Amino acid sequence: MKFNFWYVSSLSISLIVAIPILTVFTSFFQDTSNYFEILKQTFFFEYIFNSLTLLIGVLFLTFVLGAGSAYVVSFYQFPGANFFKWALILSFAVPPYIYAYSLFAFFENYGTAFTILKYLFGDGEYNKHIPKFSGMFGLILSISFSLYAYVYILARSSFLYQSQNLIELGKNLGFSKFKSFYSIILPAARPAIVAGLSLVAMETLAEFGAVDFFSVNTLTTGIYNAWITFDDLAFANRISFFLLLFIFILFLTENLSRKKARYHLEAKGGFKKKEKIKLCGAKSLFAFIFCFSLFFLSFLFPLSQMLYWTIKFPENLVGIQITDLLLNTLYLVSISSLVLLFFALISNYGNRVSNKKTLNALSTLSISGYAIPGVILAIAFITFVAWFDENLIKALGFLSIKKIFIGSVLGLVIVYFVRFYSLAFNGIKSGYEKMNISVDESAYLLGYSKTKTFLNIHIPYLRNSLLFVIILISLEIIRELPITLILRPFNFETFATTAYISASEDLLEAAAVPSLCLIIIASFFILLTSKYILRDNDE
């Protein structure tokens, strides 16, 4: 058998991704339990109960908000509809933990809500009447308002591609608008919505910053606590088994739904540009109020809370090295996207030219990293490097390699790679899928070599996909918290870590400046992508 470059490179990528995942399992099978049974029982059920409550709450809210807004925006014409179309995805710029800071700060005793009431109505006992959003309820709200856009984007694109026939069918059968919505439109978009909800669910289970801030114990923080605080790997093992079970189900659901969603998209028989229904009067006002409230609550509210703090406590602007933070963030973003794109391109190209089933299976394995929470990936990475160093490098008499990987940008980039490889891989894959393999073959037949085909045909064709992937990766890394927190080098902060560190020391107002910067930069990146996310006159 000849040396197959594509096979070897795909194998190595999968291996890099598999290492931390395998470490999670293997290290958990060392039994070092020294913890108390009673605690375990209590915590264990609390973790599962909390994770389930959180999941159900978030899924319900994101479904209502995401599918509802997508429906209104794609089927109806009302004042501001075109603005809300893209404004609603700005909520991506506010990570759940920053939303949590805003929510808590606004409603706490003597918080922003109190200040507003006092300003409007003078002194009074307002604290008792201001609802408190902390703990589980606050957490559900924070995550939902930050993540509903996943459902919104996928549902919207599915609604847009629904053939006119389907909607006319509803009219034909004499259905009311509501009945058409839930018995025709919604079921047709189900795969897309399920895919969006599974993404939300995975992100919810992986969420660290907001969960930590509201100190709600979920399975993920449970593993973190059991592993980090109590060194109880056996307990961590038990929790992670459940977590991975959850995740495995979600991963499968998401993949299957995506395939179905694609199938639905391809069946574009009878597709013609839909005429949006023009709303007027009270209905139009209702649609506007719904979308505006969503936009306000998900984006304007956290933005203004952070802005308010920045103005109220300007002393926090002193001493914060915004340029350094920006450069650090951009440094991470550029190296990571470069590495991710490079490997995702190689792997996709390899799959394309060799078209082997084993390669396809390997790439499915290598995109599984995104389902594993960042906290767990980061710790697993450290554990693996330490083990590898101890048992192989030192045993062979070499210098320790720990410093190269732990607390270095290299280590960070590797773990980002594991976590975000699926973004890069799938982004490029979906670009490639739109181009028949015969396009490559015609290029060969026109005299282009494989390299020339790649450089002169593929790269220009994939340009938009590549750009889109870079921006997606950037957005994720800008918001990323636990991996950066655990693995970053000395004197190296990003907006996310600065905000988190301040918040964890009860200095929420100091967290405002980095949070504000993060929201602004992320919004900028989102506006760059909105064109690709929301294209609707394609094909």
Residues 495-524 contacting another protein, CB under 8 A: 497, 501-502, 504-507, 509-510
Cα dihedral sign for 490, 493, 499, 502? positive
Least CB distance to another protein at residue 349 (A):
14
Please give the Cα distance from 31 to 113 (Å, whole number). 50
Nearer to another protein, 38 or 120 (CB): 38
Contact positions with another protein (CB under 8 A) in 54-113 = 108-111
Report if residue 120 touches another protein, rule: CB under 8 A: no
Cα dihedral sign for 65, 504, 220, 469? positive
Nearer to another protein, 149 or 481 (CB): 481
Of the ranges 120-128, 322-330, 366-374, 520-528, which one interacts with another protein (CB under 8 A)?
120-128
Least CB distance to another protein at residue 165 (A):
22
Residue tagged 């598999």 (tokens): 18
Nearer to another protein, 11 or 386 (CB): 386
Contact positions with another protein (CB under 8 A) in 432-491 = 434-436, 438-439, 441-449, 457, 460-461, 463, 485-486, 488-491
Question: Both tokens of residue 57?
Answer: 């709450």
Residue tagged 């957490």 (tokens): 139
Burial of 3 (0-12, 13-18, 19+ CB in 10 A): exposed
Please give the Cα distance from 69 to 61 (Å, whole number). 12
Please give the Cα distance from 291 to 495 (Å, whole number). 29
**Three-state SS across 446-490?**
CCCCHHHHHHHHHHHHHHHHHHHHHHHHHHHHHHCCHHHHHHCCC
Nearer to another protein, 84 or 99 (CB): 99
DSSP code, position 369: G
* Residue type for position 376: I
Please give the Cα distance from 174 to 381 (Å, whole number). 59
End-to-end CA distance of the chain: 43
Contact positions with another protein (CB under 8 A) in 126-155 = 127-128, 134-135
36, 49, 182, 263: which one contacts another protein (CB under 8 A)?
A: 36
DSSP code, position 29: T
Nearer to another protein, 80 or 489 (CB): 489
383, 388, 467, 534: which one contacts another protein (CB under 8 A)?
A: 383
Least CB distance to another protein at residue 534 (A):
19
Least CB distance to another protein at residue 482 (A):
9
Nearer to another protein, 168 or 231 (CB): 231
Nearer to another protein, 178 or 357 (CB): 357
Nearer to another protein, 217 or 364 (CB): 217
Write the interaction track for another protein spanning residues 393-432; mark x where CB under 8 A is met and - where it is not: -------x-xxx-xxxxx----------------------
Contact positions with another protein (CB under 8 A) in 213-252 = 215, 217, 224-225, 227-231
169, 280, 338, 361: which one contacts another protein (CB under 8 A)?
A: 338
Cα dihedral sign for 209, 211, 215, 219? negative
Report if residue 335 touches another protein, rule: CB under 8 A: yes
Question: Both tokens of residue 122?
Answer: 């003078």
Contact positions with another protein (CB under 8 A) in 360-379 = 379
4, 115, 163, 530: which one contacts another protein (CB under 8 A)?
A: 115
Least CB distance to another protein at residue 87 (A):
29
Do the Cβ atoms of 208 and 481 come closer than 8 Å? yes
39, 52, 249, 455: which one contacts another protein (CB under 8 A)?
A: 39
Least CB distance to another protein at residue 56 (A):
20
Nearer to another protein, 338 or 361 (CB): 338
125, 174, 176, 323: which one contacts another protein (CB under 8 A)?
A: 125
Please give the Cα distance from 57 to 137 (Å, whole number). 9
Contact positions with another protein (CB under 8 A) in 166-205 = none
Question: Both tokens of residue 20?
Answer: 């931390």
Nearer to another protein, 12 or 225 (CB): 225
DSSP for 47-113? HHHHHHHHHHHHHHHHHHHHHHHHHHHHHEE-TTHHHHHHHGGGGGGS-HHHHHHHHHHHHSTTSHH
Nearer to another protein, 175 or 313 (CB): 313
> How many residues sit in the footprint of another protein (CB under 8 A)?
86
Report if residue 296 touches another protein, rule: CB under 8 A: no
Report if residue 539 touches another protein, rule: CB under 8 A: yes
Report if residue 382 touches another protein, rule: CB under 8 A: yes
- Partners of 76 in beta bridges: 277
Coil vs helix vs strand at 277: strand
Report if residue 265 touches another protein, rule: CB under 8 A: no
Q: How far is CA 226 from CA 24, 128, 180, in A?
A: 13, 37, 49
Nearer to another protein, 77 or 536 (CB): 536
Residue spans of alpha helices (H) in 108-218: 112-121, 135-161, 164-172, 177-180, 186-188, 190-206, 209-213
Residue tagged 């409007």 (tokens): 120
Report if residue 26 touches another protein, rule: CB under 8 A: no
Report if residue 313 touches another protein, rule: CB under 8 A: yes
Nearer to another protein, 263 or 444 (CB): 444
Residue tagged 């991975």 (tokens): 244
